[in-house]
Chain A
């Protein structure tokens, strides 16, 4: 009887532990919102304002948000251009030994500390761009390249998984009809894996936008951000603005609240992208489940 009771108590304790994630997410949302609230009440001046100049109490985030999307989308385009063909090769054409070398290296690449990658970008990429293409070197282009390196492994892994999830029978049917392997990949496998690949891209976008240190080191972060007109211009993104300014924002000032409000905006953007990913995956699961 006593053992029973102990088992019940432990089960309840495990249950409480499982609830902790919910609690933590609520705490994060509540505290960030509460701190960002005074700046969010600026309304249009905050969301649609064109000038971010804390010294004059101007907190318009539009140029920062637009730059964030420009940097994120460009990085994603590069990652997709390399990652999707790589995923096709690894899932369909690669010999086993080649896969066994590439897969662990992709996993390592995911984990390379972003600050180290950023430092590499600062020392190599920025210098290279400045010397061969021109400009300051610290620019959107450098941000694209560094971020695409960070997004690439995610795009490859998830795309590869979704290519592998295409039923073998489809492939065999196509091959049996006399199509070559490459024709089968293009006409049968890719259309079926499309939603999984799309999900990997949206998720990669979320990662790219939330990434902080690597991108901060290479994009220049001008004091007063503007909407960029070329890829060689320095920009500021949401994450880099928070990190750089939080250290000197006066505690309790509207500046500090504005930085937390940037956190809220970042959170909302990334949450939306994640929700889209989940919706895409759920839809594709339902479609394949209905067969």
Chain B
């Protein structure tokens, strides 16, 4: 390898490093500036007078929204995936289902937010509430759940199914006790990644779930809820005091910490799963 080639290789390597560097800078910056704002009071109190107090209702609100979202998207997504992977005949209807799943994945989140606002909040009369927000988030992550579950179901070796069928199990029994049992780590990974996406989503929640500064905990699914991303948005765009910025950094740090722990968990789970499927060999 001559010098010119070495130089080119080094240049290419640098570009590959850039994304790692950006990740470190962003996370590091938020961590350094946010850690000072984190205290037990900040995590366990309600906000008052805009930037004062803590973010307890926002943390709980975000988790509630994600729960409603998963409650909607996971059963529907996994059921669609089972149909697509195990039953679907190779015809036009099946391919159009696939096409529409891709379509849904491509719709910008703000458009899903508008849909949530007009359909869930006004047309169905759910109001600005946890239910509307959660369902709209569910619509957003549905295609990801379908895709991830279908991939996971498809990686289950055909021999497992045949063995089960040969032992006299019906197709449904095979799916329930063989296919899903082998595919569930993959499905959970997909669900976790969708969860991270739902947790950080702002536009959808802003339009459907609440103004972000709620100082109370929701008592039912029809109550508006505050959430971390909307809280960050409100304070970052409308707060001008240093206390507001400190609270914004604190809330961003909590949001990033929640998100990173979910993603790391998902990645670890997936690596284990891949190892098990390939018998320790990396493909």
Chain A interfacial positions (CB closer than 8 Å to B): 3, 6-7, 10-11, 13-15, 17-22, 24-25, 27-28, 31-32, 35, 82-83, 85-86, 88-90, 93-94, 98, 101-102, 104-109, 111-120, 122-124, 149, 152-153, 156, 180-182, 206, 209-213, 217, 239, 242-243, 246, 259-260, 263, 266-267, 270-271, 274, 278
Contacts and interface: CB of A to CB of B under 8 A. Distances in A.
Contact of B79 (A14, A22, A118): A14
B229 interface: yes
6 interchain residue pairs of minimum CB distance: A113-B200, A210-B108, A17-B79, A89-B12, A14-B83, A86-B16
15 contacts: A3-B170, A19-B97, A24-B142, A25-B100, A31-B123, A89-B13, A106-B19, A111-B196, A113-B229, A116-B26, A116-B252, A120-B29, A213-B202, A263-B114, A266-B111
B237 interface: yes
A206 B119 CA distance: 25
Given A7-B171, A27-B115, A246-B117, A105 B200 contact: no
Interface string B178-201: 000000000000000100110111
Nearest to B142: A21
A105 B26 CA distance: 12
B74 to A, nearest CB: 11
Given A21-B146, A119-B248, A266-B108, A243 B206 contact: yes
Given A14-B87, A21-B101, A114-B202, 11 more contacts: A18-B80, A21-B100, A28-B115, A28-B139, A32-B114, A35-B118, A114-B200, A156-B19, A212-B110, A243-B203, A271-B106
B167 interface: no
A115 B83 contact: no
Contacts of B8: 182
A196 B42 CA distance: 48
A82 B18 contact: yes
Interface residues of B, number: 80
B88 to A, nearest CB: 7
A124 B28 CA distance: 13
Interface stretch (B48-56, B215-223, B255-263, B273-281): B255-263
- Give the secondary structure class of B's interface: helix
B122 to A, nearest CB: 8
Most buried by A among B76, B103, B110, B112: B110
Contacts of A3: 170
A18 B83 contact: yes
Contact of B97 (A22, A109, A124, A152): A22
Contacts, number: 228
Nearest to B229: A115
B11 interface: yes
B43 interface: no
B89 to A, nearest CB: 10
Given A10-B172, A14-B83, A85 B30 contact: no
Interface of A is mostly: helix
B15 interface: yes
Contacts of A28: 107, 111-112, 115, 139
A115 B109 CA distance: 13
A243 B110 contact: yes
Contact of A11 (B87, B196, B252): B87
Interface in B1-56: 1, 5, 8-9, 11-13, 15-20, 22-23, 26-27, 29-30, 33
B134 interface: no
A19 B196 CA distance: 25
A242 B116 CA distance: 14
Interface of B: 1, 5, 8-9, 11-13, 15-20, 22-23, 26-27, 29-30, 33, 75-76, 79-80, 82-84, 87-88, 96-97, 100-104, 106-112, 114-115, 117-119, 123, 139, 142-143, 146, 170-172, 193, 196-197, 199-203, 206-207, 229, 232-233, 236-237, 245, 248, 252, 255-256, 259-260, 263, 267
A116 B110 contact: no
Contacts of A211: 108
Given A25-B100, A28-B111, A263-B111, A113 B259 contact: yes
Contact of B252 (A106, A119, A210, A274): A119
B202 A109 contact: no
B19 A239 contact: no
Contacts of A113: 199-202, 229, 255-256, 259
A113 B259 CA distance: 8
Contacts of B111: 28, 32, 210, 263, 266-267
A59 B27 CA distance: 40
Contact of A105 (B23, B33, B123, B172): B23
A116 B30 contact: yes
Contacts of A93: 9, 12-13
B1 A212 contact: no
Given A25-B100, A114-B202, A270 B263 contact: no
